[in-house]
Structures are given as C-alpha cells and as structure tokens.
Structure 1
Amino acid sequence: MTTKFGLRKKLAGTTVIAIGIGMKAAGFGTPAVAHASMTQKELAEAVRNYQIPQGSMDLALNRLADESGVRMIYRSQLTEKLKTSGLTGNYTLTGALDALLLGTGLHYRLSESGESVSVVLAQAGDVVNDASPRGAHSLPTIDVGAAQAQPAQPASRGGGSGRYGAGASNGKGALGGRLTGYNAATATSALKMDAPIMQIPVSVQVVTRQTMDDQQAISVKDAVVSNVSGVTLQPSFLEMLKIRGFSNSANTYKNGLIEYRMRGLDTTNLQSIEVLKGPAAMLYGRVEPGGIIDLVVKRPLDTPYYSVEQQVGSFGNVRTTLDATGPVTTDKSILYRFNGEFYRTDSYRNFVSDRNVFIAPTVSFHPIEQFRMNIDFEYQRRDYVDDYALLPASGGSVANIPLSRYLQEPNLTTKYPDKMDKKRIAYDWTFDLTKDWSLTNRLSYTNIGYSVNDTSSSGFNPITGILNRTVSFIRGTDKNFATNLDLKGKLTTGVFNHAMLLGFDYFNTFTPPYLSYFAPINTINIYNPTYWQLANPYRGPSYLMLGQQWTGVYGQDMISFLDDKVHLLLGGRYDWAKYSINSNSSTAFLAQATYATQSANAFSPRIGISVQPLPWITAYGNFSRSFGTNNGLNQGTPLAPQRAEQFEGGVKAEFFDKRLMLSVVYFDLTKTNVPTPDPTNARNTLLIGKARSTGLEVDLTGQINDQWSVIANYTHDDVRTVSGSPLNPLTEITTQRPVAGFVLAGSPRNYGNIWLKYDADGMFKGLSLAGGVNASGNFFGDNANSFVLPGYALINGMIAYSTNIEGLTVTAQLNVKNLNNAIYYPSSMDRFTVQTGVPRTFLGSLRVEF
C-alpha cells in the first residue's frame, strides 16, 4: 500500500487534510483505481450496497470504510460518544456519510481537488454553504482517500436499494426513510439491544417500510401475514394473529411496550415491523410463546421531507396519507414528524363498511450529545360495520353460499355501527452515562373507548339452513399503562466481551365497569336470508370489570469470544402477576362487587448460542421458557396461567455481499393451559392441558442484484393437542373439546409465499414490476377435526413507475391481490366461525414527495 499525505491547509479555521491512496492494503485483494482516473463527481455518485447496523459511530464508519473500499483517518475522540441509526441499501458515498452522520451535528464537504476526497467536519450551523465554512471550530477531519471499484449502476427503487441514498441528489434522506430495501441487518426487539441479526441466537424477521409500500399494506395484518414464516390469521374482534400455531392475543408491542387489546392497527406511521419468534417472556413478560410483533414507529429526520399519497381501490376504497418531517430549530436539536391518514372502504360483503381517521405527530429532542428523547402522540377514530367471521361448516366442508352474503343482523349493525376512539401518548429517552453504558426509559398510556355489536352462533342445521345467532352489545373503555427502564452496557473480562442488559418493567390495564348485553335473536336461513326482522330484544345488562398488573425484573448478558465468532446469550426474568375479573347482572351489585382474582409468580430463563465460523454463515440454538396469564373465565373461575418452553436451532446465511439473507429454523414448542373458545357458551373459555407445535421455517429476504429482489418463506408446522379431553364421538362436534392427538383449529401443515421484484435500468429506469404467490395446504377448521378447509394459491402483482418532475418525486403504482380470484378460507376457529378470503382487489396510488 502506498499512502501520500498532501499539504495541510487552513480554511477559515477548519483543518483540511488531503490524502491520496494508491492501493488497498495487502491481503484485501484487488488493486485500487487511482483517484486521478475518476472525477470528483464520479467518486461522489458511485453507488454501493451497505449493510451497517445501528449503534456506535466508530464501528459504523469503520464498516463504511470496509464495504466501500475507502480508507478513513479520523480522531476517535470526536465520534466515540456518537450513535448512528445505521445504513441498509444502495447509497452513494456522500449519501452514506449523510445517513451515518444524521443528527450528530457534524457536516462534511468534499475537497475541490479530484485527487482525493477530503471530508471536513464542522459543527451544525457553522457551515454556511458547501464551499466556504465560516466560523467553524478547528475540528479533526475525516479524510477519505479511496480505491474505488468501477461505479455501480445507479440504485433503483427496488428491494434492498433506493434510488436515492440519504443525502444523494434529492437531498431528502432517502425519501423519508422509505427506501429501506427488503432486508434488515439488525432487530432491536430480539435482545433490546443493537446487534446484527447474524449474531443473535434467536429467530427474528423484519418487515421493512419498503415492503409495506411495495405491497401497499394498509393494516399490520396485511404487512405481516405472508411476508413472515410461521404467521397466520385468526378470526377475532381484536388485532390477533397466530405465530407458530398459537394466538398472539397480547403480543403486539410498539417500540418495545405492549399494545394491549388493540383494534385496527395501521401501518401509516410505522418504519418497520419486527416479528420475534418463540417465547420472549424473558424480556417482555406477559407474552404468548409463539412470538411477539413489535411495531417500530417512524422517527423525525433533520432534513425536510414531505409526502402526500392518494390511494383508490376496489369496493370503494379511498385512502389519503400525509408524511411530513424536518427540524423545528435551526440547530436541529428539536425535530418533528407528522403522519396522518383518512381511510374509507366498503366490502365485498353486503352492509359492511369501514371509516378511519388516524393522526400521529412525533417530536424528538436532542439538546446535548448524551441525551435523546422522542415523544409520540396518536389519535384514531374508527367507525365500522362489523364483518366478524360467521360462516358455518356444513358436513365435512364449508357451507356453500356467496361470499357477499351477510349473516349478522344489519338492523343492528348498520343502525349501531362499531366505534373505537383511541388516544395514546408515549415517550422514550436514552442518556449515555459513559461511552459504553446508557440508560433508557420508555412509557406509554393508551385510552381506548369502544362500542361493539357482535353476533356469534352456537348451532346450525345444514338441512334446513337455519343458523342460531346470539348478539351482544359491549360498551367500555380500556386504560393501559406500560413502562420500563433498561440499563445497557459493554465491558471486557479477559478474552470475553460482554453486552449486558438489566431491566425493570411494569404493566397495568384496567377496564372500568362496562356494559354488555348477550341475547339470542331471530334465526336466519343462510341460503335464503330475511333481514330487518329483529326478534328477542336485549335482555338485562351485565357489568364486567377487568384488571391486570404485571411487574418484572430481568437481566441478560451476550458474551462474545473467539475473535467474535461465538456469542453466548444468558438471561433470566422474574415476574409478579395479578389478574382480577368481576361480573354482575345489574348496577345494584357493583357496590358489593366481589372479584375473582388470581396471582402468580414465575421465573423465565433463556439461553442461546450462535457460532459464526465464516462471516457469511451462522449456526445457532436456544432454549427458553415463558409464563403468562390467560384472560377470561372457565365456569366463573379465572383461567390458570399458561406456561411454555421451546427448543430451537437453525442456520442463518448472507449472500451477494450481505444483500440477501437466508434463515432456516427448526423449533419444538409446547404450551400448557391453552385457551380455546367454548362453542356452547360465548362467555366461557375452555383450556387444553398441553399443546405442541413443531416445525420448520425458511425465510429468504433481500436483493439478488441491482435489479432483482425477493421475499420468500415456507413453513411446515404440526400443531396439535398433546394432553386433552377423552374422545366422545357423540358429543365431540358439539363440545369441541380438545382431544389428544387432534390438530388445533385453523393450523395448516404447510404454507408459504414468494414475492419477486424487478427494477428496470437503462431507458426503462424508474419502472418496477413484482409478482408472487401466497399458498397454503388444507387444514382442519375446528378442534374436533370434523371438517376441512381446502388449500389455496393466490397470485399477487405490482407495477410502479417513479420519476422526477420539477424537483418532485412522483410515483404511480398499481397492486392486485388474488388476481386469479380464488375462493379461499384463510382461517377458522370452530364450525360456526370460518373466515372468508378477500376476492380479487385492485389498489392504485399516486405519491408525490419533495
């Protein structure tokens, strides 16, 4: 290697060091291309793919140097306390530096000479323009002298890339952070610490912002199902999915804090969605063992960005969204971001409609280098006519009626539509105690008022077509409070490097006495329905009060050794939980209310190890246990706590310069006290003694090359009762008792998805085409395994074109789902609750960004 130091010069108090490097260091392979052979413009506009995790600025700059082939020289005192949000995707050199230095108060400019690339660091506000820093402090400089390979093709808007790197020619921070690609290098939900996914000895998948945009995913369900292995739908009034065969009834989180009993979760203000597989009680307490879903909120940027999008689609779908962000103060210590949505749609089902208004402002404070704080506000108002799954089974299959047929009572549901009024405030702040230790506190409070009219069924005569129905009015308010405190740090003991976490969290949910009516109404003939003849009006009211408290302390140590090739994860948590429920038949009893209360304590351990013999491949394994309460009553008694344990092992691999990630996982998960609805009594819940889920998950996400990107996954999962009730063939269909050896309802053995995207180059640059298939094998629709839902395959597609018009980035896009218009049933809970799939839909959009 030959290094030539140029003359040190002074410009307005700012030191510039010009460095020219003729070749890369020995052992790194190819010789460098002399800077003299490339103009400064070519150096600045050459595009590379970067996969740099968030965290230490020092490590990020070193990673940038490694991945770009440049050599950087700088004083570590300037950056040792700085953090960066990382970098994923295709960026120019200047775009990459912009993204990494975002929010640090440091700026740079390129030297006027094309013989080297000199980066001048100056405090924010001191650089008046690119040519003449004025009044800048004398600071160390980052001098980039590089051996660049031939310039890559300009990045497109495809998965794993973006047309603009942060700070590239549009100057808008990669279009507000939208162009993230399909692959993510880090996931904070797995350990509550920044760590590369390749080193984490657990299974975690990330749905990126670009995935949501490319597929026009409006709801969280739309974004997660099919893009992540092991996740399926579940019929529910709440925002519930199944992960590894088990319901995630309380497992939706936002920025690490629980979102309890949520409804209508939207993607408008989300930057990504992380799906952590397997029991996560060690970090999150009250969780279902299949896994958790963590919603990561968009954060303000220090460069102005504005986006307006209009979407129009099938069944009267109209959606308008706004995204605006930028600095509030000139020193950029206060930033803002505002996301808003208006949404309305009808349905393929008669009488069904949905109206939603959602606004989410966020403010970030960064008054000093050591302290950062975000404050989030959310307001959501939703008015909708419910479309709960009420389709019954007939014999060994589903009743054959049109998908448009409505089996609830429109005389009630349209006159008294469901309503939700949600208000949420949350904050998180981090204070850097030292270079290696920091303290983080999060807090959220959510108030959700709701009015729900639901219809269920407990009987169907397939000969006459008569469906017995029970209707309920529920009016109430959920008040949820959650907080945690995390101390994170690093230390070294001999040859071992420790990444440590000590934490405390508290969760309290309280539902004041709320009104509910349950009463049978007139039956309906599903083959020849007659509406608007309401019989059996509501009977006497019932008042129900719920409460739950959860307190936990936890500790974790990620020990790295053998030249950072082996990572041992050790962790444990102790919980104190309390669940109370009261039900009365009238207000007169509220003063003398007695509560059915259950208290339980438990220890939840987790241990894992990952071995990375080569930088591109990791083998890992883990064992974990979880503990959680069950909501509801069984014959008037609170349900016993659930417990679970899991063994998991797998392989992770990165290909094509870390642009494409493959994960292959085997898991064996058992759970005791599994709740299941009682089909004979909607107000009662049954328990399964033990259920087991074993299977294989395969996920492939990222970019194959500059034009092709992919999301592909496959799941093989056997979910069945291990210890349950004895089989009584005469009553099994009616009681739906879980029987040992029977498969749990709505659990397909095999399912998967592939989504392939092409971003054109050359004369068609800006054009994107994508298509894929979402497929599932057949599965039993109820715990009695008395009927089967057929397998299906759905064809999906997308075409988009993006261009610049007078400084505006304009993108037109069209998505189609279920192009083949297949009739399918994605989920079921029992013989009276089968969910129908959405027929062919089109959704077009026009987005303007500036």
Structure 2
Amino acid sequence: MAGRNIRTKFGSGEGNMGSMLAMAFMALGAGVSDSPAQAAISPQERAGLVQSYRIPSGPLPSALNSFAELNGLQVLYDSAVTSRLRTIGLDGDFSVREGLDRLLRGTGLSWRFSARGDTVSILLAQNDRGTMNDAASGATALPTIDVGAETKQRQDAHAGPQGPGDRYTGYRPASSAPMTLKTDTPLMQTPISVQSVTRQTMDDKQAITIRDALISNVSGVTLTPNFFDNVVNVRGFLAPTYRNGLMEQRYRHLDTTNLQSIDVLKGPAAMLFGRMEPGGIVNMVVKRPLETPYYSVEQQLGSYGLTRTTVDATGPVTTDKSILYRFNGEFFRTDSYRDLVNDRNVFLAPTITLHPIEQFRMNIDFEYDNRIWVDDYPIYPAVGGGPANIPRSRYLSPAFITARMPNNMDKKRIAYDWTYDVLPGWSVTNRLSYSNTGTQTENGFPLALNEATGLMNLFLTYNPGGTDKNFSTNLDVKGKFSTGPLEHSILVGFDYFNFFAPLYGGASIFAGAVDIYNPNYWRSVNLNAAQQYNMTGQKWTGVYGQDMISFWDDKVHVLLGGRYDWAETSANRDKTSAALANATYQTSYDSGFSPRVGLLFQPLPWLSLYGNFTQSLGANQLDTQGRTLAPQRGEQYEGGLKAELLDKRLLLTIAYFDITKTNVPVTDPANAANRLLIGKARSQGVEIDLTGQIDDNWSVIANYTHDDVRTVVGTATDPNTAYARQLAVAGSILPGSPRNYGNLWIKYDADDAFKGLSLGAGVSASSDQLGDTANSFVLPSYALLNGMIAYTTKIEDFTVTAQLNVKNITDTVYYPSASGRSTIMTGPPRTFLGSLRVEF
C-alpha cells in the first residue's frame, strides 16, 4: 500500500521539558496496514522483528525515512532538530530496536513506540523510553502536529540553512562537525575547539574581507601587520589560510563573496593539515550550488568612495537536478582613510556540482581574481613609549613608486572535491586545487627613525612581475565499524602540497628618508640600481590516520591520531645575477611525526567536557642570508567544555590552552647577520565563545580571551641592546598580543507590526598591548562601538533588504596591532556602509 510523505512540525504543547522538546513531523513509508493481524502486534514484538538493512551513512532524516519504509512504520520527528544531524547508517541484520538505537547513536535522541506498535516517535534521549504507551513510558503525549508549520517558521525567523540561498543560517555553527574536521562526528562529541563564522554573521556585519569576518566574531583571533592582508593571529601565532581544506599559499585580498562560512580550528592542526604555526588554522568554506533556484544582487556604498556590487545565482542545470550550478561575482573599488591608498578588484567564481547517483557527488570550482591596489603596509612609527603624534591617515611608504606604479595581482584557480559512498558508513573523498598567481608589487619597508629629527629611512623592494604556482591535493577514507562495545569512526588520508615561485628579477634598494611630520612623497629612485634574483619553493607529503572510539552508551569519545610528514623547503634571495641565483638555490629536507590525543565525556546531551594533547611540525624559517633553517615545532595541552543551551539555540565553548613553539629563530648577539634556533615562545590562556539565538527575536555573539603570549627563550643581551636592535629576550611579551580582549554583539529581529526590522549593536574592547619584541612601547587600550539597522520586505516576488552599518561610532583613535617600532597598524575612523540587496 503506497504511503505519503508529509512534512509536519509540533505546536508548542504543555507539560514537562521532555514533552516540550519531544519531536515529530513526518508520516512515511510504504503505508501502515490496517489489518487486525498487524494491529495486534505488540510494541515489544514489533521492536524484536529482525530484517536486513543497507542504509548508508548520511543525513539522519533520509535514514529514518528509509527505515520507516522498510518496516511499514510511521516515524515522527522534528526536522528543525534532525536536519543537521547525521547517522552512521545500518548494514546487516538488526531488530527494529537495534536498528533505531544504531541510527540514533551519537545524536542525543531516543525513540518510543506508540501503543499500537505502528508508530515510532523520535525524542530527546533524556526522556524515558517506553514500549507500551505514553502513560506507561512516563513521557507526556506528543502535541498536535501542525502540517507545514515547520517550513513557515523557518522562513519567518530567517533561521536555519534552508533559508533562501543558504543565506539565513543564524549565528551559531551547525551541530554537525564542520568540514574542517574531515569527519562526521558531531561537534559536541569532538574534543577540539572549533568556531565558525556563518553566512548570516558576515551579512549582518557586512564583512567584506576575511579579517572583517574573523575579528570580533571569534575568540583568540587578533590582527597582525603583514603584507598578506588577510593574515591573522590565532592564540598568539600566525594562522595559515585554507580553502575547502586545501592550503592557500597566497593570502592577499581574500574576501567573503563566495563563502558560506569560515571555520577556525584552534590549536596545532598539523595532524590533519600539515606544517603550520601551532595557534590554529582558518578554513574558508565555499558556497555550494543549490537545487532550488536562487538569485541575489547587492549594491554596497560606503565611506571613502567604497562601492561593491555582488551577484549570486544558483539552481539546477538539468531537470533531474543531477547537475547544479552557482555563480558568485564581485566588483569592488574603494579609496582609504590612508592618504594615496586605493583598491580595485574583479572577482568571478562559477561552481558546478555533479550528482549523477546518490552515492557520488562532485564539486568543481573556478575562480578568477584581478586586483590593482596601492600598497598600505603599516609604516607608522613609535616615538618614546607610544605611537607617534601624527595623523592616522599619514602614508609613509615611498609613494613616488608605490602610488605611481600600483600593485597588480592576477589569480586563476581551479579546484574540485568529490565524495563516493563505497559502503554504508564508508566513503572516499578527494580534493585538488591548482592556482596560478601573477603579481607585480612595490613595497616599502621602514628601517630606523631618528626620533630627534623625525626622519625615517625607507627601503623599497620592487618586483616587476612573477608567477607563483600552487598545487595541493588530498585523499581521505572514512569508515565506521564496531569491535564489541566500542564504536570506531576512522579516518586515513594522504596529502601533497607544492608551492613554487620561479626565478624573477627585481630591485631592493635604499629609498632615502621621509620626514614623518612633513613628508615629501615625490622623489625619484633608480630601480635598476640593485637588481636581485629570487626563487622560493616548498612542498610536503603527509600521511595521517585517526580513530574516534566511542563507548559507554556514546558518552565517552577517545580520539587517537597521528601524522608523518616529509617536507622540502628551498630558497635563495638577494643574489645579484640570474646565474648566481640558480647556482646557490638551497633545499632543506625535514620530516617529523605529529600526534594528537583527545578525550571527551558527555554526561548530558547538552554538555561535553573535553581535553586534548597535540604536537605539530611547523614551517621552516629563513635567515638573513636567505638560507633555510630547521622547522619550528608546536605542542598544546587544552581542556574545556561545550554546552548547547536554550534548546540548542546557543552554543557555549570554554577552553583553556597552553601552547609552546620551539626552534624560533633569534638574532645571534655576537653576529647580527646570523640567526640561532634557540628561541621558544608560549601562549597560555582562556577563551569563551557564546553564539546563537536567545529566542526567536534576540541573537548574540559574545567572546572573551585572556592570553599571555611571551618569549620563553630569546636572545641573551642587555636591555639597551635589546631596545636598539629590537631583540626578543626571555620574558618579553610578543608584539600585538593584548592580555585581555572581548566582543559583544546583540541583534534584535522584530515581529508583528515591525516584522522585517533588524537592529544590531556591539562593542569590541582590548586592553593595552606591547608593540615590539623588546617591549619598548605600548599601544593603549580601546573600546569600539558598532551598529546596524536593516529592513527586509517583500515587493511582489522579490525580497528586498536595505541595511546600514556604522563602525567605530564614537570615532575612537586606536591602534589594533604592531610588530615593531616602525610598523604600527592604525584603526579606521568612523565609517558608514550601506547596502541594498534584492533576492528572488
């Protein structure tokens, strides 16, 4: 007898916590026989029936639907909860009871038969599970089912990934593990700290760059002065940037146009991702094509001549939806509060998804990025014990070159990822990325400031053109199986990375002195005076494996993993002829093991306590002569808790961490041109993150970080020498590392007569921080106020959103970071950014 698929959702209901959270929404399957024989089967008999199953791992709702059809059952559940959950699947002979237990393992859910034995209700695990009837089970009867209300509620609340274009995602990350972890283990069962910036967070704050999206939305993330303007620190150390799990060697000008979320994996991530700094990684997750057609056009206008136009279009190519497409594009142009600085970008990103059969899915990404900009490396000096008393708009690079000959980047990237479900619970995933980036750059470097005269010497590097090639790939095999009472979720993988910047000629010359109080920008310099030939490259091959072992009714999870890397780093620079440069190209060969161990205890479905220990093999450094040094190594101890509050609307994470990094190069006190690998740095602190919805109207992002980042072993020298030569000595705080900083953002979505109106406000605060390795000057503490107002309405078949964001409302003068006495970052003054978005 054919049945019907009916999407449903509970009303509010009355009774205890279990009854209010009990879940139901769908009657499925091959129908339920009305024959007296079947109706007479008791729930106990029905639960003991055994048959064969072959239900693959994947989304929980699909698995429950298949289970219902095979057993002629009705299964009632709430899709608002189950839509983000995954199951290990079923493969073999099981009773109905065993099958339901296995499908729901690790989800925090349980099940209950109706009195007739033909209906199964899926409910929270803390409810009593009865097999006779509702009264006997100790659980309150299910409330009335409201057919169709679930879809309407989501559209009204703009919460959940089913919003138009996957735009209305809410603030908290999904309960399922992010792609960054490469496993299907739910976030609450993973003994690692991971934070995500969702698409809605980026939209509400109009975050254009990766830095905009990360700063203030994730604990432990701070700015750092760097030519690669999307680099941030995580837990005090530089964080490498990945896209869909593959490394992006060039970090310049990465924006949020085609991103669905940004994950920050805290602590040494070398076990999964190779060589890197021990603070963590940033992984950009690209938007994926959708089966439902969606189109969006947005125009943004802001302070300093900013204009940005973005387009997002997606939908099926074929009627059976086996081929999908998505296209994201951007045109961006702006000047700056900094004199002479401007930026222009064209970005095009089409994506194709192939889904010919249920077990196979492939995404193919193309990106083209062309950017022209005047370099704004933060040349801004300290005088005495603090930043110089000059306008924050002052541009101190050698503008006679940098402004007249803007930088240019032309980047082309192609990538794919595919997953094939080989068997239920087993899958293979392969990712590959290749990019070709041509650049022409002119960069100014500060040398020394004469504080008495205000004259600062400048150094200029000029690269008339070079092309970097970046190739990376990996292969992951995942599977689930049992050994007695132990459930295993394993991952084994291989990855390969190769970056090469071929030989190119350029100039590196003294560019004279600039008066920081009265700069004269227009001087000339002979770029042919000091030709140099440079060539760099690195590659590594890594193999890794891990096993997540779960037991004790899925309350205890043990993570065991390790990785072995074979790495090569090659470099040469500052050579005066092409022939000499080729002759002196040097390569360093390194290898190492990176283990990871974690333990998580989940005493309650909403609470997890965890700890981990991990080590990492870091990247090689270069000495002042361009020679490669041995790689750095990292080590972390971490412990904390995760809690899902207010019916899982809020996610709270509290983490304590202790990270050390060794093999840090320090200057040889006997020879300033030599570097010694005796350095050691430590980052030790506490992070708190709270993200999500308080109720249907109020949403929050709150975080706080206390972090002590300092040199443990440095250059042994006297204070005067440390000050004059900017040397790191034992006990000194690393620059750009505030001890305490935090952020609070609250948004209100109105309803009733003001439905469509959204108001947001937030504050970001930071304590004092030291600005150089010698700790010779201080960047003062600051607090910034930010705000947002938006209104969304329907005009015929179009959804129109008008929005205005104001940053630094009080026009506070502040300095977010520094790396030395001549490289202080200045904070933007009050800025306005308005937008008009049309969706259909």
Q: Which TM-score band applies after superposition, normalised by the shorter structure? A: 0.7 to 0.9
Mapped contact 1:32–1:148 kept (Cα < 8 A): no
Mapped contact 2:618–2:633 kept (Cα < 8 A): yes
Q: Secondary structure at 2:202's aligned position in 1?
A: helix
Q: 1:621 to 1:17 in 2, by over 3 A?
A: closer
Pairs within 5 Å for 1:483-632: 483-535=473-525, 538-583=528-573, 585-590=575-580, 593-632=583-622
Correspondence for 2:144: 147
Correspondence for 1:294: 283
Q: Secondary structure at 1:824's aligned position in 2?
A: coil
Correspondence for 2:749: 759
Pairs within 5 Å for 1:117-266: 147-148=144-145, 155=153, 161-162=157-158, 173-184=162-173, 185-238=175-228, 239-248=230-239, 251-266=240-255
Distance across 2 between alignment mates of 1:781 and 1:246: 15
Tell me the CA shift for residue 462 of structure 1: 1.4
Q: For each residue in 1:70-123, what CA deviation from the matched residue of structure 2 results, as whole angstroms up to 9, or x when unmatched?
A: x994338999xxx9998469xxxxxxxxxxxxxxxxxxxxxxxxxxxx9xxxxx
Correspondence for 1:268: 257
Q: 1:773 to 1:687 in 2, by over 3 A?
A: farther
Distance across 1 between alignment mates of 2:295 and 2:23: 40
Distance across 1 between alignment mates of 2:405 and 2:8: 74
Distance across 2 between alignment mates of 1:31 and 1:825: 49
Tell me the CA shift for residue 457 of structure 1: 1.1
Equivalent AA in structure 2 for residue 191 of structure 1:
L
Which one is further off, 305-314 or 473-482?
473-482
Percentage of matched positions with identical amino acids: 58
Which one is further off, 725-734 or 300-309?
725-734
Q: What is the TM-score with the length of structure 1 in the denominator?
A: 0.83
Distance across 2 between alignment mates of 1:578 and 1:460: 38
Q: For each residue in 1:448-494, what CA deviation from the matched residue of structure 2 results, as whole angstroms up to 9, or x when unmatched?
A: 11111111111101121111111110232210100000000100111
Tell me the CA shift for residue 640 of structure 1: 1.7
Q: Secondary structure at 2:260's aligned position in 1?
A: strand
Correspondence for 1:442: 431
Distance across 2 between alignment mates of 1:397 and 1:461: 15
Pairs within 5 Å for 1:667-816: 667-674=657-664, 689-816=679-806
Distance across 1 between alignment mates of 2:10 and 2:530: 87
Mapped contact 1:343–1:356 kept (Cα < 8 A): yes
Q: Secondary structure at 1:637's aligned position in 2?
A: coil
Mapped contact 1:759–1:766 kept (Cα < 8 A): yes
Mapped contact 1:411–1:534 kept (Cα < 8 A): yes
Pairs within 5 Å for 1:622-661: 622-661=612-651
Q: For each residue in 1:567-611, what CA deviation from the matched residue of structure 2 results, as whole angstroms up to 9, or x when unmatched?
A: 110000011011111236344525852222211110100000110
Mapped contact 1:156–1:766 kept (Cα < 8 A): no
Q: Secondary structure at 2:192's aligned position in 1?
A: coil
Distance across 2 between alignment mates of 1:616 and 1:473: 56
Mapped contact 2:710–2:733 kept (Cα < 8 A): yes
Mapped contact 1:157–1:766 kept (Cα < 8 A): no
Mapped contact 2:59–2:84 kept (Cα < 8 A): no
Distance across 1 between alignment mates of 2:197 and 2:72: 36
Q: For each residue in 1:692-712, what CA deviation from the matched residue of structure 2 results, as whole angstroms up to 9, or x when unmatched?
A: 000000000000000000000
Mapped contact 2:197–2:213 kept (Cα < 8 A): yes
Mapped contact 1:58–1:76 kept (Cα < 8 A): no
Q: 1:72 to 1:707 in 2, by over 3 A?
A: farther
Tell me the CA shift for residue 283 of structure 1: 0.7
Distance across 1 between alignment mates of 2:588 and 2:73: 54
Distance across 2 between alignment mates of 1:737 and 1:630: 20
Distance across 1 between alignment mates of 2:21 and 2:388: 69
Q: Secondary structure at 2:329's aligned position in 1?
A: strand
Correspondence for 1:821: 811
Q: 1:301 to 1:683 in 2, by over 3 A?
A: farther
Distance across 1 between alignment mates of 2:517 and 2:474: 53
Q: 1:20 to 1:811 in 2, by over 3 A?
A: closer
Mapped contact 1:228–1:699 kept (Cα < 8 A): yes
Tell me the CA shift for residue 785 of structure 1: 0.3
Mapped contact 1:518–1:538 kept (Cα < 8 A): no
Distance across 2 between alignment mates of 1:821 and 1:193: 45
Tell me the CA shift for residue 546 of structure 1: 0.9
Mapped contact 1:342–1:357 kept (Cα < 8 A): yes
Q: Secondary structure at 1:315's aligned position in 2?
A: coil
Mapped contact 2:666–2:715 kept (Cα < 8 A): no
Which one is further off, 369-378 or 628-637?
628-637
**Residue from 399, 402, 417 that aligns with 1:413:** 402
Pairs within 5 Å for 1:338-377: 338-377=327-366
Correspondence for 1:305: 294
Which 5+ residue runs of structure 2 have no aligned equivalent? 25-55, 86-118, 120-141
Distance across 2 between alignment mates of 1:452 and 1:783: 28
Q: 1:33 to 1:438 in 2, by over 3 A?
A: closer
Which one is further off, 733-742 or 682-691?
682-691
Correspondence for 1:105: none
Mapped contact 1:20–1:146 kept (Cα < 8 A): no
How large is the RMSD of aligned CA atoms in angstroms? 3.4
Tell me the CA shift for residue 686 of structure 1: 7.4
Distance across 2 between alignment mates of 1:84 and 1:489: 27
Distance across 1 between alignment mates of 2:354 and 2:667: 46
Distance across 2 between alignment mates of 1:491 and 1:32: 31
Q: For each residue in 1:712-745, what CA deviation from the matched residue of structure 2 results, as whole angstroms up to 9, or x when unmatched?
A: 0000000011111113222212221210011111
Mapped contact 1:522–1:534 kept (Cα < 8 A): no
Correspondence for 2:99: none
Q: 1:360 to 1:673 in 2, by over 3 A?
A: same
Q: Secondary structure at 2:304's aligned position in 1?
A: helix
Equivalent AA in structure 1 for residue 429 of structure 2:
T
Mapped contact 1:187–1:204 kept (Cα < 8 A): no
Mapped contact 2:668–2:715 kept (Cα < 8 A): no
Mapped contact 1:700–1:713 kept (Cα < 8 A): yes
**Residue from 70, 77, 89 that aligns with 1:75:** 70
Distance across 2 between alignment mates of 1:148 and 1:401: 67
Correspondence for 1:334: 323
Mapped contact 1:157–1:759 kept (Cα < 8 A): no
Q: For each residue in 1:17-43, what CA deviation from the matched residue of structure 2 results, as whole angstroms up to 9, or x when unmatched?
A: 9999999999985499999xxxxxxxx
Correspondence for 1:127: none
Tell me the CA shift for residue 539 of structure 1: 2.1
Mapped contact 2:9–2:146 kept (Cα < 8 A): no
Distance across 2 between alignment mates of 1:784 and 1:338: 49
Tell me the CA shift for residue 59 of structure 1: 2.3
Correspondence for 1:404: 393
Q: Secondary structure at 2:396's aligned position in 1?
A: coil
How many residue pairs end up in the alignment? 746
Correspondence for 1:463: 452
Distance across 1 between alignment mates of 2:602 and 2:227: 44
Correspondence for 2:268: 279
Q: For each residue in 1:121-156, what CA deviation from the matched residue of structure 2 results, as whole angstroms up to 9, or x when unmatched?
A: xxxxxxxxxxxxxxxxxxxxxxxx973489799658
Distance across 2 between alignment mates of 1:25 and 1:499: 39
Mapped contact 1:680–1:735 kept (Cα < 8 A): no
Distance across 2 between alignment mates of 1:21 and 1:193: 30
Q: Does 1:384 align with 2:380?
A: no
Tell me the CA shift for residue 413 of structure 1: 1.2
Mapped contact 1:816–1:842 kept (Cα < 8 A): yes
